[in-house]
Amino acid sequence: MGTPGLKADCETILGRFQETDSVRFEEFAAIWKDMKFSHIYFGGMRNLEMSKFAREALSVASHYFLPPYTFQIRVGALYLLYGLYNSQLCQPKQKIRVALKDWDDIEKFYQDLIGAQHLDAAYIMRQLRLSRAFHFTGMAEFLTFRSQRNQPRHVGREEFKDVRDRVQDLVTSETLEEMLNIHEHYQKTKCLISADKSQPDRSLSLVKEDYVPNLKQLLSEHVTWKLEKGKPRTKNDDEKEENEEEKEATSQESEKESSERAKTLARIKSKCYGAVTQAPKSRRHRQVLMASSESSSDCGGKNTQKSKRKRRVPRKTGTLKGAKLGKLTKKASQSKKNMPTIPEEDSTSSSSEDNFVPKRTRKN
Amino acid sequence: MDENIPVYEVTDANTRLIHLGSFGDLWRERLQSCDLTLAADAGPIQDNSYVAQDLGCTEETAAELRLICGVDALKCSENEEEDLENIPEDSSLLTLGIRKKIIDRRKETLIVERACRQETFLHELEFHAVGKRPEDAADMVDEGELVLTLNIVYPVIFRKHKEYKPYQTMLVLGSQKLTELKDAINCVSDMQIGGEFSNNPDLAPENICKDLFKSAFFYFEGVFYNDTRYPECRDISRTTIEWAESRNRGYGKFQSTKMEDYTFNDLRLKIGFPYLYCHQGDCEHIITITDIRLIHHEDCLDKTLYPLPIKRHWFWTRKCSVCSMYTARWVTVNDDLAPDDPCFFCDVCFRMLHYDTDGNKLGEFLAHPYVDPGIFN
Ligand SMILES: [Zn+2]
Ligand SMILES: [Zn+2]
């Protein structure tokens, strides 16, 4: 059974982070502190309860760290994992479970972070990895054949998800190229069997000549339309950004040969993280850091304070007091030579009245 | 995708078949030594120069990142360690509001003590070996070793708990042999002492069933793995195989092989799928691999402590019905002297009540040695 409220709290912080239209860690940290999110571990949970809860919290957060969630939500989830991992009160810390099938996604995500110069996020990812915060597992969850069946599957908030784009899935730059090749080959073959070798006979004109360029055109229109539709809520500084984008877009059209998809990706990214990508590449990280160091000046002072988080272990000895003799089902007719039938006692229920079917009755 | 990358065969239940050793290889080839190292200290890789190198930035930037992205940036109050036990009134977190209600309700009831005691027991068991390093470096677990979590269900049928079966949980290393797991599985039926000894309790044999009947097998994916280490071991899977083959029963071909020849890394298994361990002829335990992962530097790193029990069902110990203090060692039936039938006694009380000073039997009764499941607690 999941802890009530936990998933909702995680979605609240991610939702608020989404509203900032940013992937900056300081934005996230501000929300975290505003919500006093590390208090989520408070309330004097006992050790076992605490480690279970920490495990669950990390498990809930790590769902949002993977596709199908948007790049921005995934960055938010990375920060959330970082916060939850480091503020947990368990000793040793509970680990973030990563399944083998998800690792390539995470590696790619890390490369994207570095590629887009999101150094704060990349730094934190690296930091988690170096502090060995992960368990490298088969599956993200423990698989206990019976008991987990009735647990609900993870269903995350729709607006965090990357809208699946079947058009883009279907028509990639590779498939376009492939189609272009086939089309050329087709044209050549037609020429070869035609009277005029430089041009196919009119009778062979069965498909539209400009089939591939048309498809390409349609595709880029679709991408633009999608970008317009999925635009984040307009902010004051968004307008400036839009102008730049248009310029960018027109210049893009002139370079016909380069990969459409790579550009689309770059544009999608620049949308969410406009502030960063506007600056020339060489100055990008400076800009990020300058903006951050302003508001984080007060953090510097806190560095000296070491947080000691040691939980006292409530030492209770395992002696059982007043454990009564189990109530035994008396058998009216117990044959003389049989081994006694001993019902076993169960510990999980508070009542001691459990009736068991003893599995084995041995004969002498 | 590689067939040894686990994916669900049945959603939320079990994965497709994977070769455990290859699974380990797939992880190890994706990771770097900084992920795999079992050293207590990660080393100089935290330095700014390494950060700069990894992220492709200057060292000054790295230093700045360290400041901005430090853990302290997420600290929510000055004296966090003082408030741990209390739930802040002003919290906006749903989790805390609900937890507060639960705690308040709990305070009103008295079950806390018992729950607390059991929890402490469970916690201590789960964490008793965490972080242990071997005294002899030769006993150190290898870097990148696989750790399997196994649930082994007790062969007890609860009428009341159809949904819940008590089990023990063990951690086993991928490089360990199946026989190492077999030797580590504690089962009450291995401890049983057959026979009636009221006429001479001193003759109750020391050797328990585990020593008398050593035959056992694991059943994984159509193969019986029999323990054939000892001359007295018999292939107890033979009966099943012959039964399956005797007529066309539609079970396909079963194979049988030697348990001691296989490590877990050699096996092809489904994570989450129920398999079987059978010993003492008919004592059957469902076995499930609930997890496989790479070893971590904070795990128990002493090879000799594996298979490592981390969870056991808490069995109430049956106490002597005379002194109510010591764990029962004898059970009597048809006993004129006893208040119950069957009745449980510790060794001292049993002898004091049933025999005179010369060891002569007093009255009529039958006495069987009793092994309490609680001895595993
Ligand atoms: Zn057994
Ligand atoms: Zn006694």
Q: 3-state SS string over chain B?
A: CCCCCCCEEECCCEECEEEHHHHHHHHHHHCCHHHHCCCCCCCHHHCHHHHHHHHCCCHHHHHHHHHHCCHHHHCCCCCHHHHCCCCCCCCCCHHHHHHHHHHHHHHHCCCHHHHHHHHHHHHHHHHCCCCCCCCCHHHECCCCCEEEEEEEECCCEECCCCCCCCEEEEEEECCCEHHHHHHHCCCHHHHCCCCCCCCCHHHCCCCCHHHHCCCEEEEECCEEEECCCCCCCCCCCHHHHHHHHHCCCCCCCCEEEEHHHCEHHHCEEECCCEEEEEECCCEEEEEEEEEEEECCCCCCCEHHHCCEEEECCCCCCCECCCCCCCECCEEEECCCCCCCCCEEECHHHHHHHHECCCCCECCCCEEEECCCHHHHC
CA proximity to B131, closest of A142, A126, A132: A132
Do B153 and B293 lie in a common domain?
yes
- Best of A39, A329, A336 to disrupt the B interface (most B CBs within 10 Å) is A39
Do B337 and B243 lie in a common domain?
no
Do B334 and B303 lie in a common domain?
no
Do B208 and B347 lie in a common domain?
no
Q: What share of chain A is helix, strand, coil (3-state, %, to 5)?
A: 55, 5, 40
| B345 alpha carbon, closest ligand | 2
Instruction: Report d(CA B281, CA B187) in Å as an integer.
Output: 13
Contacts of A335 in chain B (CB under 8 A): none
Tell me how far the alpha carbon of residue B217 lies from the centroid of ligand 1, in angstroms.
11
What is the pTM assigned to this prediction? 0.71
Q: A117 with A281: CB under 8 angstroms?
A: yes
CB contact under 8 A, B42 and A130: yes
Do B151 and B193 lie in a common domain?
yes
Q: B33 with B43: CB under 8 angstroms?
A: no
Tell me the shortest Cα–Cα distance from A70 to chain B, in angstroms.
Answer: 22
Contacts of A286 in chain B (CB under 8 A): 61
Do B287 and B366 lie in a common domain?
no
pLDDT of residue A352: 33
Arithmetic mean of pLDDT, A53-64: 96
pLDDT of residue B110: 58
Domain membership of residue B69 (yes or no) is: no
Query: A78-118 pLDDT, tens per residue?
Result: 999 999 999 998 889 999 999 999 999 999 999 999 999 99
Contacts of A141 in chain B (CB under 8 A): 12
Q: Classify residue A356 by its DSSP letter.
A: E
Domain membership of residue B264 (yes or no) is: yes
Do B243 and B271 lie in a common domain?
yes
Find the CB nearest A132 among B42, B272, B344: B42
Instruction: Report d(CA B327, CA B316) in Å as an integer.
Output: 10
Instruction: Report d(CA B373, CA B350) in Å as an integer.
Output: 19
Higher pLDDT, A283 or A135: A135
Arithmetic mean of pLDDT, B184-194: 70
Maximum mean pLDDT: which of A83-87, A200-204, A332-336, B190-194: A83-87
SS3 A110: helix
| B346 alpha carbon, closest ligand | 2
Do B221 and B366 lie in a common domain?
no
Interface membership of A130 toward B (CB under 8 Å): yes
Do B235 and B340 lie in a common domain?
no
Query: B332-360 pLDDT, tens per residue?
Result: 989 988 888 889 999 999 999 999 988 89
Is pLDDT of B298 > 80? yes
What is the amino acid identity at position A15? G
Is pLDDT of B62 > 80? yes
Find the CB nearest A355 among B119, B159, B318: B159
Do B353 and B226 lie in a common domain?
no
CB contact under 8 A, A29 and B73: yes
> B38: pLDDT confidence band, cut at 50, 70 and 90?
very high
The count of residues in chain B is 377
Instruction: Report d(CA A128, CA B84) in Å as an integer.
Output: 24
Do B306 and B344 lie in a common domain?
no
**Residues 243-272 of chain A whose Cβ lies under 8 A from any Cβ of chain B:** none
Q: Per DSSP, what are the bridge partners of residue A129?
A: none
Domain count within chain B: 2
| B279 alpha carbon, closest ligand | 1
Do B154 and B189 lie in a common domain?
yes
Domain around B347 = 330-376
Query: B101-125 pLDDT, tens per residue?
Result: 888 887 776 555 666 777 777 778 8
pLDDT of residue A276: 39
- The residue from B311, B339, B354 where one domain ends is B311
| CATH code for the domain in which residue B163 is found | 3.10.290
Q: Per DSSP, what are the bridge partners of residue A98?
A: A136
Choose the weakest-confidence range: A83-97, A233-247, B284-298.
Answer: A233-247
If residue A357 lies in a helix (H) or strand (E), which one and from where to where?
A: strand A356-357
Query: A162-186 pLDDT, tens per residue?
Result: 776 667 777 777 788 888 888 888 8
Domain membership of residue B158 (yes or no) is: yes
Query: A185-233 pLDDT, tens per residue?
Result: 888 888 888 888 788 888 887 777 777 788 888 888 887 777 665 443 3
pLDDT of residue A228: 65
pLDDT of residue B224: 92
Domain membership of residue B3 (yes or no) is: no
Domain membership of residue B320 (yes or no) is: no
Q: B265 with B244: CB under 8 angstroms?
A: no
pLDDT of residue A255: 44
Domain membership of residue B197 (yes or no) is: yes
Q: Classify residue A161 by its DSSP letter.
A: B
CB contact under 8 A, A320 and B316: yes
Domain membership of residue B5 (yes or no) is: no
Domain membership of residue B60 (yes or no) is: no
φ/ψ region of B316 (left if φ > 0, alpha if ψ in -120 to 50, else beta) reads beta
Is pLDDT of B176 > 70? yes
Q: What mean pLDDT is reported for chain A?
A: 70
